[in-house]
Chains A and B, each alone.
Chain A
Amino acid sequence: MHEDRFPGHKFLPYILIAPSIAVIFIFLIGPFGQSIYESFFVSTPFGTRTIYVGLRNYIRLFSSPDYLNSVVATFKFAAFVIIIGLSISLAIAQLLNQKIRGVGFYQVALIWTYAISPTIAGVIWASMFAPATGLIPYIVSKLSGGYTMNWMTNGQLALFIVAAAATWKMLGYNIIFFLAGLQNVPDEFLEAAQIDGASPWKAFWRITFPMLSPTTSFLLFVNMLYAFFQVFGLIDIMTRGGPGNATELLVYKLYRDGFIHLNTGFASAQSFIIFFVISVVAIIQLRIVTRKAIYFR
């Protein structure tokens, strides 16, 4: 096959892709292999002593209530970010896709949140909800007659606020893609539906939404990765996993165990589990959603 495509150059293709392969091996597969290896050991932070413990790191993880809490919190968080986040984004994108005055302004105003760094977003949300000085606890306290809204002591509230911040942060990105998807839906289809007497609501669900499915499935995937892996900065700035362990999502717990508590073996075991879970979910998603998505030219 390859000989046909590059006549006379038997090894050239391999040489050309070698740098990429090398990068993947050195920076991805190598460390990954090392993580798996290390997950069977406990060692001192400076590596002066290492003890083989077999599957103990894994057994401890699964028998630890803190880890199970973390799993539950992660799934709640991801569900919020994906379902609520995508729904709101789609609704806003639909609104932005109207022919109204100043639509450009609204588009920019709603999209720019994506350009904010997680640190800034975290600081904004954290100060908005700061128990003693924040605007929102103040409003809540005035409206309710003295109720103290303190997300630093209320775990479920903290998880909700962090999820809301993460959703808000991702909103711009989702809107851009939905907007692009919506602009690809041919007007003729919608006009035809209108002439046939379909309500806008029906037209949306029967025509627009199915035609958006490639965008939706792509965004589902991206948002899932975002919810599992990329919210680290927000959590670190806003809650550091607290209160209690309420916002200690899997990836944040891994960071704390590995990089703050210097417990490499335990963290390696966690990274392998996250990898495994994400792979399974990703495969299912790619198989089912992508196959059902409607592509058109």
Chain B
Amino acid sequence: MKLRKNFLIILILSLCLLLSAGTALAKPVTITFWHAMSGSRLGVVESIIESFNATHPDFEVKPLFTGSYAETLTKYVAAYPTKTGPNMVQVYEVGTQTMIDSDAITPVYQIPGMLGETWDWAQYVIPITHYYSVDGNLWSMPFNSSTAMLYYNKDLFKAAGLDPDKPPTTWKEMEEYGEKILASGVVDHVYSTGWPSWIFEQTMAYHNHLYADNDNGRAGLATEVVFNDEFGHKVFETWIRLHDKGIYIYGGAEYSANSAFKAGQIAMLIQSTSSLAGILKASEFKVGTSFLPRFEGYPVGNSIIGGGSLWVTKGQSEEELRGVWEFLKYIGQKDIAIQWHKGTGYFPVSGAALKALLDEGWFSADQAFLTAFLQILAGRRDTAAATGVRLGPFVAMREHFRAALEKSIGGELSPKDALNEAAEKMNALLKDYLELYGK
């Protein structure tokens, strides 16, 4: 552990050196940007930054890949006391409350005013900005936004004697289809999911059901979780039942389940929309996409926004802030937002980009890219339950959920006990958070 700490210190020191060398030599104002985009996304980020630097000679954005989301946040936290952090940092959606409470950032909505500008925030896709807003004001700039949807393998549906244009719409149908597909013998297991804790949060929001009190932590800090009621237990028990029938196969915490879907070993996948480009590219079968399945007879909510957003460090010079602001405006521009969407599958963040994509026929060429949009636009967004959860110790809380799911799938605990245990542990975390941040 010490080694790691030392490494961090060395990393930060060398970064300081780099930064000071950079500012001494170059004329344009340097804007540092820490992000967590790896793989094919990295290339897209870099090309957007290159074009920004080329078109804005007064500024130079310097991106630095700082590891996973969690590592990026850790480094940002470690750099904060020594003021060696970046001007901008990408933080995942679960870190939102931590950032709001951090006292280390300037909320994005205040920046135009500080620079003597006005800005129309309504040009962005509302359900996306909604997630990152406090009392209607945007705190961080949405960057890579996604939601969850259902992917299915049309060829396997056909092979199992199902209509490939009729994906399941309810969990009851998930079970019926699952049994049929299993009986046909085309696959050993029918579906899997990525990000199980997030999919559970999605399911709550999708049925307009609160996850935590104080309006999902949006009206004030949450004091306890409320998902462990009749509905929550029903969702959880359904998952476990489908697992016990062999329909659902547990697929790990993040993207491990994708490989089974791409290889045609499962017929359906519930996963982030950001996997779409990768799945389309790697799959040798017809990929269908549809809305998340519902539980019949429960209220309609909305699927929620996940991914990451950009936060602006407090206490920058006006020049730096202007550079940051130019960059934030730039990534929301029509062409850039389109480039980002096509390159990664993340939502284009502005309404204008959406229209341009529609006009050029992007969505009719492959309507799979439209599914996620229709899903978030079809749902409601006037309730906190449908907007999504905001919790301080969210990262740790999600792990308790994942542990509960793994324990009941493994038969270590009954679904009911496992979910209650997770809720209890989460409440203890919320209590600690309140102790630190409560008035």
Chain A residues engaging chain B, CB cutoff 8 angstroms: 27-28, 31-32, 42-49, 51, 130-133, 141, 146, 148, 150, 152-155, 229, 240-245, 251, 254-263, 271
Number of A-B contacts defined by CB within 8 Å:
119
B369-398 near A? 1/0 per residue, CB < 8 Å: 000000000000000000000000101100
CA distance A244 to B399 in the complex (A): 9
Chain B, Cβ-Cβ closest to A34: B5
Can you list 28 A-B pairs, Cβ within 8 angstroms, ordered by A?
A28-B2, A31-B2, A44-B102, A44-B436, A45-B77, A45-B102, A46-B104, A48-B102, A49-B437, A132-B249, A132-B265, A133-B263, A148-B188, A148-B189, A148-B246, A152-B251, A153-B406, A154-B410, A242-B253, A242-B403, A243-B250, A243-B407, A258-B1, A260-B395, A260-B396, A261-B393, A261-B395, A262-B73
CA distance A259 to B393 in the complex (A): 13
Say yes or no: is B402 at the interface (Cβ < 8 Å to chain A). yes
Say yes or no: is B55 at the interface (Cβ < 8 Å to chain A). no
A32 proximity list for chain B (CB < 8 A): 2
B220-254 near A? 1/0 per residue, CB < 8 Å: 00000000000000000000000000100111110
Say yes or no: is B81 at the interface (Cβ < 8 Å to chain A). yes
CA distance A258 to B150 in the complex (A): 35
Smallest distance from the beta carbon of A239 to chain B beta carbons, Å?
A: 9
Say yes or no: is B45 at the interface (Cβ < 8 Å to chain A). no
Say yes or no: is B352 at the interface (Cβ < 8 Å to chain A). no
Q: Which 8 A-B pairs have the closest CB atoms?
A: A243-B406, A132-B260, A261-B396, A244-B407, A153-B409, A153-B410, A46-B102, A260-B70
Smallest distance from the beta carbon of B186 to chain A beta carbons, Å?
A: 14
Say yes or no: is B165 at the interface (Cβ < 8 Å to chain A). no
Q: A241-B399, A259-B74, A260-B70 are in contact. List 10 more A-B contacts (CB 8 A).
A: A46-B80, A46-B103, A49-B436, A130-B259, A131-B260, A146-B188, A242-B402, A244-B407, A261-B393, A262-B74
A240 proximity list for chain B (CB < 8 A): 253
Say yes or no: is B432 at the interface (Cβ < 8 Å to chain A). yes
Say yes or no: is B169 at the interface (Cβ < 8 Å to chain A). no
CA distance A271 to B4 in the complex (A): 13
Determine if A244 and B437 form an interchain contact, defined as CB atoms under 8 angstroms apart: no
Q: Which of A28, A153, A155 contacts B250 (CB 8 A)?
A: A153
Say yes or no: is B147 at the interface (Cβ < 8 Å to chain A). no
Chain A, Cβ-Cβ closest to B77: A45
Determine if B437 and A51 form an interchain contact, defined as CB atoms under 8 angstroms apart: no
Q: Main secondary structure on chain A at its contact with chain B?
A: loop
Chain B, 32-87, CB within 8 A of any chain A CB: 70-71, 73-74, 77, 80-81
Smallest distance from the beta carbon of B328 to chain A beta carbons, Å?
A: 22
Q: Main secondary structure on chain B at its contact with chain A?
A: helix
B409 proximity list for chain A (CB < 8 A): 153, 243
Chain A, Cβ-Cβ closest to B6: A27
Q: Contacts A42-B432, A132-B189, A244-B412 known; A271 to B103 CB distance under 8 Å?
A: no
Determine if A243 and B410 form an interchain contact, defined as CB atoms under 8 angstroms apart: yes
CA distance A245 to B418 in the complex (A): 13
Q: How many residues of B contact A (CB 8 A)?
A: 49
A48 proximity list for chain B (CB < 8 A): 102-103
Chain B, 384-439, CB within 8 A of any chain A CB: 393, 395-396, 399, 402-403, 406-407, 409-410, 412, 432, 435-437
Most chain A C-beta atoms within 10 Å of own C-beta, residue among B189, B395, B409, B410: B410
CA distance A152 to B435 in the complex (A): 35
CA distance A51 to B437 in the complex (A): 11
Determine if A150 and B250 form an interchain contact, defined as CB atoms under 8 angstroms apart: yes
B403 proximity list for chain A (CB < 8 A): 242-245
B331 proximity list for chain A (CB < 8 A): none
Smallest distance from the beta carbon of A220 to chain B beta carbons, Å?
A: 22
A260 proximity list for chain B (CB < 8 A): 70, 74, 395-396
Say yes or no: is B101 at the interface (Cβ < 8 Å to chain A). yes
Determine if A152 and B252 form an interchain contact, defined as CB atoms under 8 angstroms apart: yes
Q: Contacts A31-B2, A51-B435 known; A152 to B80 CB distance under 8 Å?
A: no
CA distance A58 to B102 in the complex (A): 26
A258 proximity list for chain B (CB < 8 A): 1
Smallest distance from the beta carbon of B56 to chain A beta carbons, Å?
A: 30
CA distance A146 to B71 in the complex (A): 40
Smallest distance from the beta carbon of B170 to chain A beta carbons, Å?
A: 25
Determine if A42 and B435 form an interchain contact, defined as CB atoms under 8 angstroms apart: yes
Smallest distance from the beta carbon of A245 to chain B beta carbons, Å?
A: 6
Most chain B C-beta atoms within 10 Å of own C-beta, residue among A131, A255, A263: A131
Smallest distance from the beta carbon of B251 to chain A beta carbons, Å?
A: 7
Say yes or no: is B192 at the interface (Cβ < 8 Å to chain A). yes
Determine if A45 and B406 form an interchain contact, defined as CB atoms under 8 angstroms apart: no
CA distance A243 to B246 in the complex (A): 18
Smallest distance from the beta carbon of A36 to chain B beta carbons, Å?
A: 13
Determine if B81 and A47 form an interchain contact, defined as CB atoms under 8 angstroms apart: yes
B79-100 near A? 1/0 per residue, CB < 8 Å: 0110000000000000000100
Q: Which of B102, B246, B256 contacts A130 (CB 8 A)?
A: B256
CA distance A42 to B74 in the complex (A): 17
Say yes or no: is B266 at the interface (Cβ < 8 Å to chain A). yes
Smallest distance from the beta carbon of B247 to chain A beta carbons, Å?
A: 12
Chain B, 332-384, CB within 8 A of any chain A CB: none
A46 proximity list for chain B (CB < 8 A): 77, 80-81, 102-104
Smallest distance from the beta carbon of A189 to chain B beta carbons, Å?
A: 42
Chain B, Cβ-Cβ closest to A27: B6
Smallest distance from the beta carbon of B254 to chain A beta carbons, Å?
A: 9
Determine if B1 and A45 form an interchain contact, defined as CB atoms under 8 angstroms apart: no
A229 proximity list for chain B (CB < 8 A): 1
A242 proximity list for chain B (CB < 8 A): 253, 402-403, 406
Smallest distance from the beta carbon of A266 to chain B beta carbons, Å?
A: 9
Most chain A C-beta atoms within 10 Å of own C-beta, residue among B73, B393, B403: B403
Determine if B406 and A244 form an interchain contact, defined as CB atoms under 8 angstroms apart: yes
B260-280 near A? 1/0 per residue, CB < 8 Å: 100101100000000000000
Determine if B435 and A44 form an interchain contact, defined as CB atoms under 8 angstroms apart: no
Determine if A131 and B250 form an interchain contact, defined as CB atoms under 8 angstroms apart: yes
A244 proximity list for chain B (CB < 8 A): 403, 406-407, 410, 412
Chain A, Cβ-Cβ closest to B8: A259
